[in-house]
Chain A
């Protein structure tokens, strides 16, 4: 009797195991893209990051605290350098506000400034609004599944959905086959040509997850420009005060 049960269980396990392994392989393009979108996100998240900007005109290094809620709300506040401490950016849906401690004022970023650089980096204000919404704006398709440079990767080509308000012709997202963590995102112009490349590296455990702790953005048409973001602290699904992502809270500098 017992032996039969063990046998049946083992059989079941054998059947299920490959099924789950298969199920793992069968993660759809859409699901992978969702995962990439959520690399640093959760129901809520908070942490600290360091951003190094290099270009022929200046070198900058910022340390920033950040909080996020889902995909739509985020708050970033500069901790270092001292000169810029308490400068903050609030994003809620499509809208962005900056708090400027020197003059103690908040300004809402108008459409004319959305294309402008965020905090002097190679990311734009528009990137802030759009960066975790690839799944909303693009239709993904797996275009490569195999080995590249000694690494097993899956490549997903994302074409903009019919009326999506994105300027790119296509995005090519490369993820690690074993855990679907992003390796690289290439931004292509509609008429062809790579405009910029976002590379992920230094995969480590942070806040209970394996994440690429370093993100590097390199624009193609500007030699000598690069922005490197390193996540130093990260916690997921923390409880955040309800009014954290408001303009009032932005100013109070909590």
Chain B
């Protein structure tokens, strides 16, 4: 075996130019593929990370009717007990309580329809991307009561600054008109017009006051998992826990935010199509090379056969040569691609893109992020090696048909 490998190795390097060209093409194609896939993984991961932390997490527990026709009166009760039980599940990292409802923000300069989110300040502070996007004032703290966080666009429309008051009006769980005065504690800017113009956060205790909810009531309990791949397992566990209560349901984030789920599918889909095309082209070239080389070495093979080498041995040598080429090319490609990914990780595209842009109301960061997974590096690289090996089958087949005497002509 070892001799075979040595022979194959020497044989490859006999035609340095061809070998370098082949390995080079493979490496370039694979590097590109690895790079784009890593960037995609990185950016989805980031988007999901941010969105889930701002919304209700990987899994949301809420009133069963709330999903189809959201209304403030469709709420959960007995929340603290349920939450404690959910927190006990091993895969659950964090639980959070949310109250969400529509309302109007009023100032002396006008009124704007808003989505009101009642949050737990200390929990949100450790999770929410909004913290990092404050442009004025500070975030909510436990113990705050009449404090509100608003977006830059809303504060502009209503001509308000930190410290100014606005009146939130809405209808409570009984349909009564309710109004409460709140003061702006902080202003955030995400770049998403939906959030900056129409999203406000207040402490959850005060939200209960506003909407006339009892202390044990909330709209949603959100679960953030340690490992997102455990989603369906945890979902089943939670479903079992709430099975006895018809009015409560648990949903995965894909159901709560179908647009986000779809966006990721699109991007992934189009990305894969493009990668396949890149790799196809590389494969043509490589196949081309291997075939060409086999053709040119007809005489060499004829000599070997004439000298008594078994056809199988010759074929094996060809195979080993291909595998070595494959490993060299794919290995180099994966290294190159990974290197590029790590080098550009974290580079901001802000100068090109301005702010981020909107996907279904969520903000996509103008950041290049890379995430290398074994599936990308080992998986892709390995697959290519196998394909290259398979491609040598054709020239291998031709060896049997070499007529020794003809070849010497």
A binds B: yes
Write the residues of chain A forming the contact surface with B, with a CB cutoff of 8 angstroms. Answer: 94-96, 108-112, 114-115, 126, 129, 160, 163-169, 187-191, 195
In this assembly, does B68 line the interface, its C-beta being within 8 Å of a C-beta of chain A? no
Given A94-B176, A167-B166, also A115-B111 (CB < 8 A): yes
Cβ of B108: which chain A residues have Cβ within 8 Å of it? Answer: 167-169, 187-191, 195
Write the residues of chain B forming the contact surface with A, with a CB cutoff of 8 angstroms. Answer: 102-104, 106-111, 113, 146, 159-161, 164-167, 169-171, 175-181
**Interchain CB contact (< 8 A) of B179 among A96, A108, A165:** A165
Could you tell me if A163 and B166 are in contact, using CB atoms closer than 8 angstroms?
no
Q: Which residue of A lies closest to B159 (CB)?
A: A191
Could you tell me if B104 and A111 are in contact, using CB atoms closer than 8 angstroms?
yes
Cβ of A168: which chain B residues have Cβ within 8 Å of it? Answer: 108
Cβ of A94: which chain B residues have Cβ within 8 Å of it? Answer: 176-179
Q: Which residue of A lies closest to B109 (CB)?
A: A189
Q: Bound complex: CA of A26 vs CA of B103, how far in Å?
A: 44
How many pairs, one residue from A and one from B, have CB atoms within 8 Å of each other in the complex?
69
Closest Cβ of chain B to A86, distance in Å, is 24
**Interchain CB contact (< 8 A) of B107 among A95, A129, A160, A167:** A167
Known: A94-B178, A163-B180. 10 other contacts (CB 8 A): A108-B175, A111-B170, A111-B171, A111-B179, A112-B104, A114-B177, A187-B108, A189-B107, A189-B109, A195-B108
Could you tell me if A114 and B104 are in contact, using CB atoms closer than 8 angstroms?
yes
* The 3 nearest A-B residue pairs measured at CB: A189-B108, A115-B111, A165-B179
Q: Bound complex: CA of A165 vs CA of B103, how far in Å?
A: 14
Closest Cβ of chain B to A54, distance in Å, is 22
Cβ of B167: which chain A residues have Cβ within 8 Å of it? Answer: 165-167
Could you tell me if A164 and B181 are in contact, using CB atoms closer than 8 angstroms?
yes
Cβ of A167: which chain B residues have Cβ within 8 Å of it? Answer: 106-108, 165-167
Given A166-B167, A167-B166, A191-B164, also A115-B179 (CB < 8 A): no
Could you tell me if A111 and B177 are in contact, using CB atoms closer than 8 angstroms?
yes
Cβ of A190: which chain B residues have Cβ within 8 Å of it? Answer: 107-108, 164-165
Q: Bound complex: CA of A17 vs CA of B111, how far in Å?
A: 52
Closest Cβ of chain B to A67, distance in Å, is 21
Between-chain CB contacts (< 8 Å), 23 pairs: A94-B176, A108-B175, A110-B171, A111-B104, A111-B169, A111-B170, A111-B178, A112-B102, A112-B113, A114-B104, A114-B111, A114-B169, A115-B104, A115-B106, A115-B110, A126-B106, A160-B181, A164-B181, A166-B167, A166-B181, A167-B106, A189-B107, A189-B159
Q: Bound complex: CA of A191 vs CA of B164, how far in Å?
A: 8
Q: Bound complex: CA of A115 vs CA of B107, how far in Å?
A: 10
Q: Bound complex: CA of A95 vs CA of B161, how far in Å?
A: 30
Closest Cβ of chain B to A96, distance in Å, is 8
**Interchain CB contact (< 8 A) of B180 among A108, A165, A188:** A165
Q: Bound complex: CA of A189 vs CA of B171, how far in Å?
A: 25
Q: Which residue of A lies closest to B146 (CB)?
A: A163
Q: Which residue of A lies closest to B110 (CB)?
A: A115
Cβ of B176: which chain A residues have Cβ within 8 Å of it? Answer: 94-95
Cβ of A169: which chain B residues have Cβ within 8 Å of it? Answer: 108
Closest Cβ of chain A to B201, distance in Å, is 18
Q: Bound complex: CA of A61 vs CA of B183, how far in Å?
A: 40
Cβ of B160: which chain A residues have Cβ within 8 Å of it? Answer: 191
Q: Which residue of A lies closest to B108 (CB)?
A: A189
Cβ of A129: which chain B residues have Cβ within 8 Å of it? Answer: 177
Q: Bound complex: CA of A183 vs CA of B106, how far in Å?
A: 27
Closest Cβ of chain A to B165, distance in Å, is 6
Closest Cβ of chain A to B168, distance in Å, is 8
Cβ of B166: which chain A residues have Cβ within 8 Å of it? Answer: 167
Could you tell me if B104 and A165 are in contact, using CB atoms closer than 8 angstroms?
no
Closest Cβ of chain B to A169, distance in Å, is 7
Q: Which residue of B lies closest to A187 (CB)?
A: B108
Q: Bound complex: CA of A187 vs CA of B110, how far in Å?
A: 14
Q: Bound complex: CA of A54 vs CA of B180, how far in Å?
A: 32
Cβ of B110: which chain A residues have Cβ within 8 Å of it? Answer: 115
Q: Bound complex: CA of A31 vs CA of B111, how far in Å?
A: 32
Closest Cβ of chain A to B8, distance in Å, is 77
Q: Bound complex: CA of A96 vs CA of B179, how far in Å?
A: 14
Could you tell me if A95 and B177 are in contact, using CB atoms closer than 8 angstroms?
yes
Cβ of B178: which chain A residues have Cβ within 8 Å of it? Answer: 94, 111
A129, A188, A189 pick with most chain B CB within 10 angstroms: A189
Q: Bound complex: CA of A163 vs CA of B171, how far in Å?
A: 19
Q: Which residue of A lies closest to B175 (CB)?
A: A108
Q: Bound complex: CA of A187 vs CA of B109, how far in Å?
A: 12
Cβ of A188: which chain B residues have Cβ within 8 Å of it? Answer: 108
Closest Cβ of chain B to A68, distance in Å, is 19
Closest Cβ of chain A to B236, distance in Å, is 40
**Interchain CB contact (< 8 A) of A111 among B103, B109, B181:** B103
Q: Bound complex: CA of A180 vs CA of B179, how far in Å?
A: 31
Cβ of B106: which chain A residues have Cβ within 8 Å of it? Answer: 115, 126, 167
Q: Bound complex: CA of A189 vs CA of B167, how far in Å?
A: 13
Q: Bound complex: CA of A195 vs CA of B166, how far in Å?
A: 15
Closest Cβ of chain B to A225, distance in Å, is 15
Cβ of B181: which chain A residues have Cβ within 8 Å of it? Answer: 160, 163-166
Q: Which residue of B lies closest to A188 (CB)?
A: B108
Cβ of B171: which chain A residues have Cβ within 8 Å of it? Answer: 110-111
Closest Cβ of chain A to B171, distance in Å, is 5
Closest Cβ of chain B to A118, distance in Å, is 14
